[in-house]
Amino acid sequence: MIRFDHQVIGQWIKPKSRILDLGCGDGQLMKYLQYKYHVSGYGVEIEIERVTKAIANGVNVIQRDLESGLAGIAEQSFDTVILSQTLQAMRQTEFLLSDMLRVGREGIVTFPNFGYWKNRWQVMKGIMPKSEDLPYEWHNTPNIHLCTLQDFEDLCRHLNIKVIERHVISHGKTVHFAPNLLGSLAMYRVTKLI
């Protein structure tokens, strides 16, 4: 069973194109894209056990700390750079967003929507939110830069990044109405404004 957000990403990429998947984890997404859309490219991952799993999944994976950016990777050398549920764990958010659109023509960014009503409700109750897309406790979460749809779109404007498409999902289904309130996972297809 392919994850719904991975299926959405698949629909946004061009078959046989060149992909860089930042924070690729065990390589499931790249494996799926390679199999279904015959893409090529690399995953980037910091954690050695996930690197090993990605290799086992037949994905070309480069072990690297994304905080140091994508130095050494040539400009516009990928069709799409994917940042799937990784942005919120990065320290240098602006730097990474700009760098990914330096090496790729398009970017796909997905992140848990902090504006999701269940998150808001838990904050209202006086506790830090936990949900299917935010599964951690406040004291062990790797997430340091949580944002809402609106926050992300504001940042894009600030960085001269154009949103080409937006897809918001919740419980494996597309959310059309009041996405910033009802969507738990935000997905954006973006490019650099020239």
Of 60 and 92, which has the nearer Cβ to another protein?
Answer: 60
Exposed, middle or buried, 194 (CB in 10 Å: 0-12/13-18/19+)?
Answer: exposed
Site residues (CB under 8 A) for another protein? 18, 40, 42, 48-49, 51-56, 58-64, 72-74, 77
Of 52 and 122, which has the nearer Cβ to another protein?
Answer: 52
- The terminus-to-terminus CA distance of the chain in angstroms comes to 39
CA-closest candidate to residue 193, choices 149, 165, 156, 166: 156
Of 53 and 167, which has the nearer Cβ to another protein?
Answer: 53
What's the closest the beta carbon of residue 59 comes to another protein, in angstroms? 8
What's the closest the beta carbon of residue 85 comes to another protein, in angstroms? 22
Of 55 and 182, which has the nearer Cβ to another protein?
Answer: 55
CA-closest candidate to residue 133, choices 93, 165, 89, 163: 89
What's the closest the beta carbon of residue 31 comes to another protein, in angstroms? 12
What's the closest the beta carbon of residue 140 comes to another protein, in angstroms? 21
Of 27 and 183, which has the nearer Cβ to another protein?
Answer: 27
179 touches 193 (CB < 8 A): no
What's the closest the beta carbon of residue 77 comes to another protein, in angstroms? 7
Q: 166-174 contacts: CB < 8 A, separation 24 or more?
A: 167/8, 168/113, 169/4, 169/5, 169/8, 170/116, 171/132, 172/4, 173/4
